[in-house]
Structure 1
Amino acid sequence: MNLDTFHHIVVAYDGQDESSAALTKGIQLSKQLGTRLTVVHVYQAEHAMNTGGVRPGIPSAPANGYLTDNLQNYPVAPDAARQFDDQPKNDHFDHSDEVSSRIRMKLDENQATGDVEILSGSPADAILSFADEHAADLIIMGNSDSGGLKKLLFGGVSDKVHHQSNISVLIAK
């Protein structure tokens, strides 16, 4: 492998220690090779996608647990949409801003330049799509996949990226 062929490095960052190691490695390689660096963070907005950002309300039940024939005195369940209006509907943006700030601090600490992109969707798919669409030559990521049954059934993000990528993938430890 000739390192001179790398012109655009994409680092996947999720805030875990392993992805911090990947970011450090990406910064080092980018500086050594004089390549473009893009750090991507992927959030999954499952809650927002499934509920439109509105948390479901739980209807009230009568104190005695029984419905009566006289429904005039039956309490009315609060409107779920109105009940949570004062709460932010896009919590993932706040977290992404925090992650983006940590990435920028790490770049500044290392006197490095790079772009930060916030992606959404399935992490492996989003990383692969971004790398493909932006002509990346190398993906660097940590091996911070969850263990246990979830990894066994669905595979880890780094495993999926490694097996499905058409470009080189470096797993930093």
Structure 2
Amino acid sequence: MPPSHVLVPLDGSPLADEALAEALALFDCHITVLNVVTPLDSGMSEGGVLDAGEDRRESAHDRAERLVDRARTRAADADRTVDTAVRTGDPADTILEYVDDHAIDRIVMGGHGGERNAVARRLLGTVATTVVGEAPVTVTVVR
């Protein structure tokens, strides 16, 4: 059964961009693009270890808005529209919460290399590994 609502988490990476292209090409349904801004006190952040402060927070939210705006433009170029959302939190947890809170029935996301001591994490990345393992819906990981 084809999905009716696909979630594409975007983090600005080339693989996330490929995931959006894949979702737009494969699924003729409602697509939502989600960017998660990682809190400064988290062990992960979208740009690595960065200085705390209001400038950093504002910069992260500006970056998130640029990412979702770019996704809207890419969808429009394909004669499609996407809904967009920006949330703050741990990326994997926030993606899973978004799925639970909305009528999402498929996730399409990019995978990234992660820690070298775990094969799955090396193949998919830590966020993708967590989402694949815990999502209540089908997850397609683009590599």
Report the CA distance between 1:165 and its aligned residue.
0.7
Report the CA distance between 1:146 and its aligned residue.
3.5
Which amino acid is 1:16 matched to?
S
Q: What secondary structure sits across from 2:34 in the alignment?
A: strand
State the structure with bigger RCO (CA 8 A, min sep 6), 1 or 2: 1
Report the CA distance between 1:169 and its aligned residue.
0.5
1:21-170 aligned at under 5 Å gives the runs 21-31=18-28, 35-46=29-40, 53=53, 87=55, 90-148=58-116, 156-170=126-140
CA distance, structure 2, for counterparts of residue 89 and residue 164 of structure 1: 29
**Unaligned regions of 5+ residues in structure 1, if any?**
55-86
Specify the structure having the higher radius of gyration (Cα).
Answer: 1
Q: What secondary structure sits across from 2:140 in the alignment?
A: strand
CA distance, structure 1, for counterparts of residue 57 and residue 81 of structure 2: 32
Aligned length in residues: 131
TM-score normalised by the chain length of structure 2: 0.80
Q: What secondary structure sits across from 1:90 in the alignment?
A: helix
Give the 3 Å change call, closer, same or farther, for CA 149–167 of structure 1 in structure 2. same
Q: What secondary structure sits across from 2:27 in the alignment?
A: helix
**Unaligned regions of 5+ residues in structure 2, if any?**
43-50
Matched-pair identity in %: 25
